[in-house]
Every structure is written in structure tokens, then in C-alpha cells.
Structure 1
Amino acid sequence: MDRRKSLQTMILGGAAASTGLVFNSCKTETIDKAVAESSEKYFGRTPKELERIEKLNAEQLFNEHEMETIAALSVVILPPKEPHGGPIEAGVPDLVEFMGKDIPTMAPTLLGGLMWLDHKSNTEFGTEFKSATLEQKKQICDEICWHDTEVPLDKQALEIQFFYMMRGLTVTGYYTSKVGIADLGYKGNQPNVWDGVPQDVLDQHGVAYDPEWIAKCIDQSTRGTIATWDENGNLLT
């Protein structure tokens, strides 16, 4: 499952509103050219998926101020840490915009929540959210970061839905990025060195390796050699 599908599965829940947005699309020829140029960048995508990705990348959901506000909120939700960085280094703001375009029902909640943040910050602190101090930002977030689990999320206040959505996008976006995976220390599947069944286990079962066979198979200096067989199925190398 790719990053986009993972996010769709993990963060939507009941947080998205039912209103859609209409965007202006690019010219078909421009999209076709972009698809061709990005086939290596988005490895493993089908031509149809590539076309949709480039179409969405060419659209704009948030203005510059809104993107800066998303960035400011993301580092409150998940503070950066050494040596890998945080949501900004992981590209979370761009991912939030992409998901808002990919799933249009998310867009009203995101846009409305950003407006709410600025209104709240201006009312209480006389400045927009992105320019508030860290403590002021935390104070605002403390009011909206918990939701009543007994009430469906889509029945709760917009700002509650917004923070729930942003928290999911930020954390999931970070930990599905190269930066976040490095922070986890996850190395994935890696080859190890196998020296055969331990001698005491072989002795316990009364069996032994054929010396000729073991010389061909357990020599770690030849681990990069591709095995070959003769026409009778005998192992050569």
C-alpha cells in the first residue's frame, strides 16, 4: 500500500465534511508531459495514477499564508528532533495540501480550521497563529486537541474535527516519509549470514552435511555468486 492510500485509510474516519470543491485542471497536454517526466519519481504507479498525481500537483488548494500556518501547526503537533528533523523536513505541509485535493471532502475542514486558528489567535493574542509564540500556539491547541469519544466526530465542532485531521496527517505523513522512517531506525528486510545448522543440532539428529555440498553453499565469500546446475540437476556453484 502506498503512502497516499495509507493516509486515506488511517486519517479519514468521521472527520471529513461532505462538501466538495471544484478545481481548475491543467491542459491535457501539460499533464501528459508531466506524467512522462515523473514516471521515475513516482516509482510503481500506473499511468492512470501518474496522470492523477500530476493533475493534483498542478492545482492549488492553500495560499502561501495557509501553507505557512499548516507548517507552524505541524511542528506544534510533532516538534522536530535531532538529527532527522520534523514535519517540515518530511514535507508534511505539501502532503496536507495534496491530500486535501486528492480527497475533496477534507478540504472544507482544513480550510475552515485554518481560518479558525487565525481568528482565535487574533482574538486572544492580537496576532495570526503562525506569528504567535510557541506557548500561545500550545494554549490554542490544548483547547481543541481532545474530542468526546462518546460523540461522533462529524457531530463535534469544526475546530475539533480540524485538529483531529491535522494530527493524523502530520504524524502519519512524518512516519511514512524518509525522514520519519530514519527517525524510527527501521532498516527493513536485510540479508544475514547463515553458516548452516549448528553442529550440536546436527549431532542431536544424527545427520551431517556433505563436505562437498557445504563447501559450495556455506562459503560467504561466494554469497554474491548465482547458483548454477548441470543438466542432471547437480549443483555446480
Structure 2
Amino acid sequence: MHLDRRTTLQWMLAASAALGVEASGGATPARRPGAGYGTDPKLTRSYRAGELWPLSFTPEQRRCAEALCALIIPADAQSPSAAQLQVHLFIDEWISAPYPTQQRDRGVILQGLAWLDAESERRFQQRFDQLHVTQQARIADDICWVAQAKPEFAEAARFFARFRDLTAGGFYTTPEGSRDLGYVGNVPSVTFDGPPAKVLQIVGLS
């Protein structure tokens, strides 16, 4: 599945709202001290890949991120996996954006993916994306909770926590993820019978 540039940018804004991060979709200059990063992209037009900013993942990093997305949110009877929804491409777009939060995430994610492949080679003599899911899970179990991680896994656990948040933010802002949550907002009701009788009684209207 190919994602056009406008879709991924709109996806980024929706996910940053879900993650509690400031992002602006207008074309006004950034209001930050210092040189800043210029103007934000206009989401009413489409962009060629690399036109706004170059993406960060190498092919190896993209495969590693895809495998980790699939491990964090696997497919089930109700919805596809985060990898099938191309959430790893959203994460690549996210960490490549020039905004301060995304730039902080960039180092965390790239270093974490490098650690994941190195740890996979150390334990199983294969890259992370080449491992069986049970082997991937054995590594993830050591870094899945920051508070419980051993000292030697502390930094990797912080990476995993951020990657997991980005995966969830990307997944649950897709149409499939919204359906998985049971979200029914922005859908008009066929009929409206008025407020419940109990509410009317509380306000003295029944």
C-alpha cells in the first residue's frame, strides 16, 4: 500500500493531537524563538516524497520498524496489524519532521532500532525482522516496561515506550483503528428522541 504525502501529513497531525503534542496545519510562520523551521506545509495540496523533508529510515530500519509495529499491535479477527496499516511509514514521517518534539524522537527511535537489530544479532544471529515472532517477543519482554527493565536495558526500554506510543497513536488514528476502538464520533444519528427523561427531570423540565 502506498501512502501519498498529504495523507501522511494529515495522519501526523491527528496522531500528534492524540499524543498531546502541539502541531499546526496552517501555513503561518512558526512562532518559536531562534531561526525556527520556516512555514508549516499546506494540507490542501499533495507533495512529492522528499519535497518537504527527507525521510529518515534506511531500508533496514524500515524493515525493523515494520516488524516491531506488527509485534506491538498484531492482526486479529477485528482489525489488521499496525504494520499492515503502514504505521512504520507514519513513524518515519514523524521523526523526519523538523519540529522540536519530532527531532527529539528521531534520535531515540533511530538509536533504538539500531539496538534492536544488534541485540537480535547477539542473541539469535539474525536481524530483528528475520526473527520468529516468539524470538522477537523474548527481546521485547526485556524492554517493554521502563520501571521493570534491568539497568542494562534501561535506554532500550525508553525507546520501546516511545515507539509503542507512536505505534498506538498512528494505529488508532486510522479508520481501521478507530473502528477497533468502537469510536462512533462524527457520525450523524438517524433519529434523536430528545434528552433522557431522567435528565429532563433533573433540570425541572418534566
Asked if Structure 1 and Structure 2 have the same fold, meaning a TM-score greater than 0.5 normalized by the shorter chain, the answer is: yes
1:7 to 1:99, Cα distance in 2 relative to 1, 3 A: farther
Partner residue in 1 for 2:9:
none
- The structure that has the greater radius of gyration is 1
TM-score with structure 1 setting the length = 0.59
Paired residues for 1:48-63 under 5 Å = 48-51=39-42, 54=47, 58-63=53-58
Do residues 74 (structure 1) and 63 (structure 2) align?
no
TM-score with structure 2 setting the length = 0.67
Q: Deviations over 1:88-111 (max 9, x none)?
A: 233211111111122111111111
Partner residue in 2 for 1:192:
190
Partner residue in 1 for 2:107:
108
User: How many percent of aligned residue pairs carry the same amino acid?
Assistant: 25
Q: Deviations over 1:151-205 (max 9, x none)?
A: xxxxx8321111011110111211111110122232214223246799xx9xxx9
Question: Unmatched 5+ residue regions in structure 2?
Answer: 1-11, 28-38
Alignment partners' CA distance in 2, 1:188 and 1:140 = 38
Cα distance, 1:51 vs structure 2: 4.9
Do residues 162 (structure 1) and 159 (structure 2) align?
yes
Alignment partners' CA distance in 2, 1:178 and 1:196 = 29
Which of 81, 84, 89 is 1:86 aligned to?
81
Alignment partners' CA distance in 1, 2:185 and 2:25 = 21
Cα distance, 1:140 vs structure 2: 0.3
Cα distance, 1:84 vs structure 2: 2.7
Paired residues for 1:1-237 under 5 Å = 2-6=13-17, 9=20, 45-47=25-27, 48-51=39-42, 54=47, 58-102=53-97, 103-148=102-147, 157-189=154-186, 190-194=188-192
Residue-pair matches, total = 163
Alignment partners' CA distance in 1, 2:194 and 2:91 = 49
Partner residue in 1 for 2:36:
none
